[in-house]
Structure 1
Amino acid sequence: MSQTPQIFVRYIVKPALFGLLIAAVVLLVLPWISPQQTPSVPTDNGLVSFSGAVASASPAVVNIYTSQEVRERPYDPRPRTAVRLGSGVIMDQRGFILTAKHVVSEVDEIRVALQDGRVLSAQLIGSDQLTDLAVLKTEADNLPVIPTNSDLQPRVGDVVLAIGNPYNLGQTVTQGIISATGRIGMSSGYSDFIQMDAAINEGNSGGALVNSRGELVGINNASYQSQLTSRATTGIYFAVPYQLAVRIMRQIISEGVVVRGYLGITAEQHYDTYHQTRGLMITAVDPQGPAARAGIQAGDFIYEIAGEPIRAVNQGLDIVADTPPGSELEINFFRDLRRMQTTARIERLRE
């Protein structure tokens, strides 16, 4: 009987203490080894919802209706009224609205319908062909304004919501993700568009693309139409990024037109393995343009413009586009293995 306490300690107490020790270690270490959870959209009763983002952004998205008198038949003097449908985004309380140029170009009348029931006349202030953006102005008080974030950087994989008025069904929200950034536009060579898979149908053009906080990500622009097949293409849509759209809007408001610098090159993004740097590989040069006069040739590799290392095509194009015509840009490039430098006098881009 004298061995009973020893047996109790050996087979009961020691294993219990050891188990408690292991449990304590696990509780201390587990938070460090557990995978971090991805922040989720705020939930209500366990349901994931974007209703807060929609409630914040949707009052500032307007329906746009335009009309134009057309005479299609020369033997019939009676004009026909053509109606065009689109959407727009109220950018500030002064009544400036961003929309798509193709919605409001060459029309006789523009009217905007707010979500609170008001229908207002609007005036076209100006437009930009390359980005397919237009600025409207309406006179009203207490206008809702779209939430914005000047530090916003769209990322591939971000959840986005497209808000507009497809087929005049009324304000509608579609959801998707950003599929790519820096895409080339469908009607121009401008390469700073957002590609996403949130559906854009007729009437959505000019509406808002917002994130899960309701902040403006871009202005909805167009859907991709393939010329290689007669089948409908789905899931490929485009928007003008917020930062670019705001720059265009401010220039149109202040100057009436958008003035861009022109270098006269066609380039693609490239990584030079020998020098281990990114930049622009020149594929073509306008023989009458500033680049040709500065001695730049097809096959040259530009790695720096105005002292700024070039990492992407849209970055290089933005530097050139933002340079006032008549100004000079210092360009550093490689020709074969030779490091070279030149100065180009920027001209005005003609649309």
Structure 2
Amino acid sequence: MLKKLLQSALIGLCTAAVVLALLPLFQGNSNLFSRQNDDLQVVSYASAVRIASPAVVNVYNQSLQASSLDRGLSDNGLSNNEVRVNNLGSGVIMRADGYILTNRHVISNADQIVVALQNGQIYQAGLVGSDSLTDLAVLKIQAENLPTIPQNKQRRVSVGDVVLAIGNPYNLGQSVSQGIISATGRSALGEIGRQNFIQTDASINRGNSGGALINTAGELIGINTLSIGKDSSEIAEGLSFAIPINIVNDVLKKIIQDGRVIRGYFGVESQIFYNNEDQLGLNQRGVLVTAVAPNGPAYQAGILQGDLIVRFNSKAVNSPTDLLQIISDTRPGTVVEVQVERLGQLLNLPVTIAEYPTVG
């Protein structure tokens, strides 16, 4: 019994000695097991926003109306006008010399377009041109050395990437919403559905249209354009869309050059990419023609519904989207050779590309 008591006492003394030896360490760092907040890693996109936000502007679509108090002329001979904001949106400074991109629907039917920069400067903008098919418009303000958002053409946009939408929702002032890329290559979204939208769940509300969609490096990847369900009784959460930067840059270049976008027109419809072994045992790949526009270039060349477009002007056809882009980039009046498969036979048909009809 005495031996057990001595062993217990010895263990207790050893434990006390260890505690006394470590006590200064605990006193010197009372947060040994509870780290200071400053030591915690915080996930933040502040640097990306800091890079991109100065180049995102507020856009106001205004109309001039005769004053309700005096519809005639004032004492100085000038008409008394009231300014009414018809629509609001956002825009992105694309060039330091004052070229700004926004959505066409933001500035539609405007008597006056006003652009407000984030540094407080306000400019009246001129409309360089617009494109109904992509819902893009190019504005110009008289300013120099403006901030722009960097772009990285080598960086691939992938589903799952974190993205930030910057704009002016409901005229509250510049705001940032965060989401991920839900899909790429989205099309068939109604009248403006020919392009390949980036789909995201970042919130896009009234006033965000024309604003910037950026990645977490602060690089511009698209122009925000619409959100399904915002203007209807049907509520659709997390379905927002942006126009990819490659399309944006192409439209910007063409509008600055020609005042409008000149596209080639072929006159067929298809959403189907065909890949199958044909009657000759060949593994044919191409776009299946589902409809032919009456009196269009394809119709006049003899292309029929059900034909499989295999090659277009010596280029292999990889998808309906690729074919659409090739046609769009072909200058109107150009004669191209289109190879189609029909009932197991390969036919080469010359087609004169027309200009895509103006919409609206």
Do Structure 1 and Structure 2 share a fold, with TM-score over 0.5? yes
Which one of the candidate residues 325, 328, 333 is aligned to 2:335? 328
Q: Which residue of 2 aligns with 1:128?
A: 131
- What's the offset of the Cα at 1:273? 1.9
Which one of the candidate residues 70, 86, 91 is aligned to 1:88? 91
Residue 66 (str. 1) matches residue 73 (str. 2)? no
CA–CA separation in structure 2 for the residues paired with 1:79 and 1:117: 23
- Cα distance change, pair 183–47 in 1 and its aligned pair in 2 (3 A): same
Residue pairs, 1:216-235, within 5 angstroms: 216-225=220-229, 230-235=233-238
Q: Which residue of 2 aligns with 1:47?
A: 42
Contact 1:191-1:313 at 8 Å conserved across structures: no
What's the C-alpha RMSD, in Å, of the aligned pairs?
Answer: 2.4
Q: Which residue of 1 aligns with 2:34?
A: none
Contact 1:262-1:320 at 8 Å conserved across structures: yes
**TM-score using structure 2 length:** 0.79
CA–CA separation in structure 2 for the residues paired with 1:226 and 1:162: 16
Residue 285 (str. 1) matches residue 292 (str. 2)? yes
Which one of the candidate residues 300, 308, 313 is aligned to 2:307? 300
- What's the offset of the Cα at 1:270? 2.0
Q: Which residue of 2 aligns with 1:140?
A: 143
Contact 2:159-2:182 at 8 Å conserved across structures: yes
Contact 2:60-2:85 at 8 Å conserved across structures: no
Amino acid at match of 2:339: N
- Secondary structure at the aligned position of 2:60 is classed as strand
CA–CA separation in structure 2 for the residues paired with 1:308 and 1:156: 28
Q: Which runs of 5+ in 1 are unaligned?
A: 1-43
Contact 1:158-1:177 at 8 Å conserved across structures: yes
- Secondary structure at the aligned position of 1:316 is classed as helix
Residue 174 (str. 1) matches residue 169 (str. 2)? no
Residue 241 (str. 1) matches residue 250 (str. 2)? no
- What's the offset of the Cα at 1:305? 1.4
Contact 2:205-2:230 at 8 Å conserved across structures: no
- Secondary structure at the aligned position of 1:273 is classed as strand
Q: Deviations over 1:152-196 (max 9, x none)?
A: 432222221111000111111111122222222443341322222
Task: Indicate the larger mover: 61-70 or 270-279.
Answer: 270-279
- Cα distance change, pair 195–164 in 1 and its aligned pair in 2 (3 A): same
Q: Which residue of 2 aligns with 1:211?
A: 215
Task: Indicate the larger mover: 286-295 or 259-268.
Answer: 286-295
Amino acid at match of 2:303: I
CA–CA separation in structure 2 for the residues paired with 1:159 and 1:318: 27
Residue 259 (str. 1) matches residue 266 (str. 2)? no
- Secondary structure at the aligned position of 1:55 is classed as helix
CA–CA separation in structure 2 for the residues paired with 1:338 and 1:152: 42
**TM-score using structure 1 length:** 0.81
Amino acid at match of 1:144: P
CA–CA separation in structure 1 for the residues paired with 2:218 and 2:243: 17
- Secondary structure at the aligned position of 1:47 is classed as coil
CA–CA separation in structure 1 for the residues paired with 2:313 and 2:184: 24
- What's the offset of the Cα at 1:290? 0.7
Amino acid at match of 1:294: A
- What's the offset of the Cα at 1:121? 1.5
- Cα distance change, pair 183–326 in 1 and its aligned pair in 2 (3 A): same
CA–CA separation in structure 1 for the residues paired with 2:87 and 2:94: 22
Higher-Rg member (1/2)? 2
Q: What is the percentage of aligned positions where both structures have the same residue?
A: 46
- What's the offset of the Cα at 1:82? 3.9
Amino acid at match of 2:185: G
Residue 106 (str. 1) matches residue 113 (str. 2)? no
Q: Which residue of 1 aligns with 2:199?
A: 195
Which one of the candidate residues 305, 320, 339 is aligned to 1:313? 320
- What's the offset of the Cα at 1:45? 4.2
- Give the count of matched residue pairs: 305
Q: Deviations over 1:50-83 (max 9, x none)?
A: 1111111111000111211469x9xx99978243
- What's the offset of the Cα at 1:322? 0.6
